[in-house]
Amino acid sequence: MYKRHEQHLAVEHCGRAEGSDTTQPIPADDVDSFSLAVNTYATPSIFPPSSTATAELKPSMRPFPMGMGIPAGVGALLVLLLMPAPAAPFSFSYNFTSPSDTPPPGIAFQGDAFYNKAIRLTRDERLGPITSSAGRAFYSRAVPLADPVSRRPASFATAFAFSIAAPDPASASGDGLAFFLSPFPSALPDASAGGLLGLFNSSSPRAGPVVAVEFDTYKNDWDPSGDHVGVDLGGIVSAATVDCGTSMKDGRTAHARVAYDAAARNLTVALSYGAAAAGPNATDGVLLLWYAVDLRDYLPDSVAIGFSAATGEAAELHQVLYWDFTSTVDPKEETVVLWVVLGLCALLLVLVGAGVIWFVRQWRKAGELGDGDIEVDDVTGGEYDELADELVVESGPRRFRYAELAAATKNFAEDRKLGQGGFGAVYRGFLREVGLEVAIKRVSKGSTQGRKEYAAEVRIISQLRHRHLVRLVGWCHEHRGDFLLVYELMPNGSVDQHLYGKGVLLTWPTRYDIALGLASAMLYLHEECAQCIVHRDIKPSNVMLDATFSAKLGDFGLAKLVEHGSQPYTTALAGTLGYLAPECVMTGKASRESDVYSFGVVALEIACGRRPAELNEEPSKARLVPWVWELYGKNALLEAADRRLEVEGQLDEKQMERLLVVGLWCAHPDYAHRPSIRQALNVLKFEAPLPVLPPKMPVPTYFPPPDLVAPISVGGASSTEDPGISDYGSSGQGSSVRDRLLEP
């Protein structure tokens, strides 16, 4: 039963002295104050009523080692949250600091988490580098959030002690730990290190059905401060935060309490470091945060509970020392309910059978929705099975059913469309089964290269694993005429949206990191894969931005696998005009050097905030590469910098000079004078000196006679949307008029 009230802050004052194994009754003044406040603060039944407020703490529930002498009014607030629960339907208690090296029973570990006289959530020095680490430890049984019979939501309270220590106090450290609730069993997302705390994937920071209380030690772009406590509801951007006012990474033992009152729908957090004050939001050493929320809006009926932590480039050590948990609902009750449900199912067998038949018909119908105008493509019968077998061999991406993807996009509704490009449209979707937001590319029915580009993209990207490449989640071609590719969703769109569209203005540090990330991805493709991969369509709309604005290269529909050290190969010209290297236009030969040329143009765009060609500019400024090269020859290179950055006062002139010079170097008209992407990256990282370029833009001298030039045929259909919108794999368009490409 629950006592429902308007407010929802409840905190207990514990009178145990630091280092003592005994507990003391709560002072009488605090009991009187509690009696006065009982009609103001929410009290779920797992907390004692006012008549039991003088009871001593049970040994199984460790008290907070906080100071004495809390004022009467504050004591009333402290009693409710931190008071230990009496006998309840479900509870457990762990002391992880025992001398045993054996992991405690009932605790599961994921990622880099391990046990060594404490739960250690991230790597320590003995297990390798402690940077870029993420791990979870969670209770191995599902915990219900609702009574399986009455469906009444469960209240719970949990207390735990933890410590966070920076290996080098003089250096930056991060990123913190969190207590979380998520679908059972727990699943540690990929690419969840750093500020994502092992909770969310960098591509979907707002998509996961996860609720967490974070103890964050590093200020990321979305954080209010470096040391703070926050409540995360399905995303890494906290719904509520409070600043600690003290360091959480100095190795001290922190005592935390999280309580949820289901009747009042309140989540309350308390944090203590003993008697020391903890900032302006603390009361006698107790940091308080409360937030009104119905957890049923974010979580399923049964959840995993536990702890998660992560490090990025800055590192620290995360330990959990003890953990108590109490809930009003016992997981064992679900077994009884199961038999009841089975009995009801037997009685209603006829109705259930009818429901199954109806469901199957609806499912089949979903697979046929919207295909009235779909023509039969070149994948039919045995050929479909052959292609499916061929692609399913690849590791990583999975095969989806068409009905799943149709449901995820509301049958590819127009309002779910993210963009339209050369080889098809891209739709935003949500896969409910895995709780993941995705971008689904539907290859155009009118594309002459549909199957070829689809198969190439699946085969190539399935082999790739790099933090600066867009991840392919899955694929589907069971619906005739449709080739579907499922990618991780990039919440911040593509680079061109922010340079030229309605996206936020990219700061200079973000822009420079994007250039470094793109170069890193190209280095992986060109030199670090088993086979060299020539991308052939590097441009801003194919450079995606995840939740932290980290660059990820996408669109492998035009990519080709070639052997390392092989010569450029001839192919039908494909790509986007403005980014195609001169030799590629003239001969139809693509190579690593032509990819480097495209990178050079993109680097100049990032620095200048301008497209490769601006028709509204005066002739001397209309074409980006010649204009910047002219400024270079006049020793006025920084005049090319995006003026918006100067207004923001963010410009780093040394980095700007590096990016502009590297951009010109890579966009050299003669491929023999371009750097490798490794050389370009070394200069951008200040690991190599700036190259000295000719003061005037060179004129290429190696073009073959016009009658030997390969026919120009830029692949793809024309775009019907803003060309700034990326389509996760659709090549942009350009003119096929050679004269425009060969203008001096």
Q: Pick out the residues of the known binding site.
A: 441
Determine whether 394 is exposed, middle or buried from the number of CB atoms within 10 Å of its CB (0-12, 13-18, 19+): middle
Which pLDDT score, from 0 to 100, does residue 654 have?
A: 95
Q: What is the pLDDT of residues 448-496, one digit of tens each?
A: 455 666 776 677 777 788 899 998 888 888 876 678 889 889 989 999 9
Residue 123 token pair: 């790597």
Determine whether 537 is exposed, middle or buried from the number of CB atoms within 10 Å of its CB (0-12, 13-18, 19+): buried
Residues 330 and 90: beta-carbon distance below 8 Å: yes
Residues 458 and 441: beta-carbon distance below 8 Å: no
Residues 541 and 598: beta-carbon distance below 8 Å: no
- Of the candidate CATH numbers 3.40.50.720, 3.40.50.12780, 2.60.120.200, 2.40.37.10, the domain formed by 90-328 belongs to 2.60.120.200
**Level-2 CATH architecture, domain 381-488:** 2-Layer Sandwich (3.30)
What distance in Å separates the CA atoms of residue 189 and residue 196, rounded to the nearest whole number? Answer: 10
Residues 609 and 642: beta-carbon distance below 8 Å: yes
Number of H helices, E strands in the chain: 16, 31
For Cα atoms 301, 307, 313, give the angle at the middle one, nearest 5 degrees.
130
Rounded to 5 degrees, φ, ψ at 266 are -125, 135
Residue predicted with more confidence, 20 or 162: 162
Residues 478 and 401: beta-carbon distance below 8 Å: yes
Cis peptide before 175 (omega within 30 of 0): yes
Least confident span in 400-414, 591-605, 714-728: 714-728
Q: Pick out the residues of the known binding site for ATP.
A: 441
Q: Of 30, 216, 223, 537, which residue is the catalytic one?
A: 537
Residues 149 and 332: beta-carbon distance below 8 Å: no
What distance in Å separates the CA atoms of residue 259 and residue 231, rounded to the nearest whole number? Answer: 12
Determine whether 466 is exposed, middle or buried from the number of CB atoms within 10 Å of its CB (0-12, 13-18, 19+): middle
Residue 126 token pair: 């003995």
Answer yes or no: is pLDDT of 423 > 80: no
Q: What is the pLDDT of residues 285-333, one digit of tens each?
A: 567 788 888 898 888 888 999 999 999 888 889 999 999 999 887 555 4
Residue with tokens 């190969």: 569
Which amino acid, 457? Answer: E
For residue 144, CA distances in Å to 92, 148, 183, 230 come to 14, 8, 11, 24
Helix or strand holding residue 383 (H, E): helix 381-392
**Superfamily for 495-707?**
Transferase(Phosphotransferase) domain 1 (1.10.510.10)
Residues 217 and 316: beta-carbon distance below 8 Å: yes
Instruction: Give alpha helix (H) positions in 106-182.
Output: none
Helix or strand holding residue 233 (H, E): strand 228-233
pLDDT band at 575 (very low <50, low <70, confident <90, very high): low
- Identify whether 227 is a catalytic site residue: no
Domain limits, the chain: 90-328, 343-368, 381-488, 495-707
User: Is the sign of the CA dihedral 265, 271, 274, 276 positive or negative?
Assistant: negative
pLDDT band at 603 (very low <50, low <70, confident <90, very high): very high
Percent of the chain surpassing pLDDT 90: 30
- Tell me whether the CATH fold assigned to 90-328 matches the one assigned to 495-707: no
Which pLDDT score, from 0 to 100, does residue 538 have?
A: 94
Which pLDDT score, from 0 to 100, does residue 362 have?
A: 58
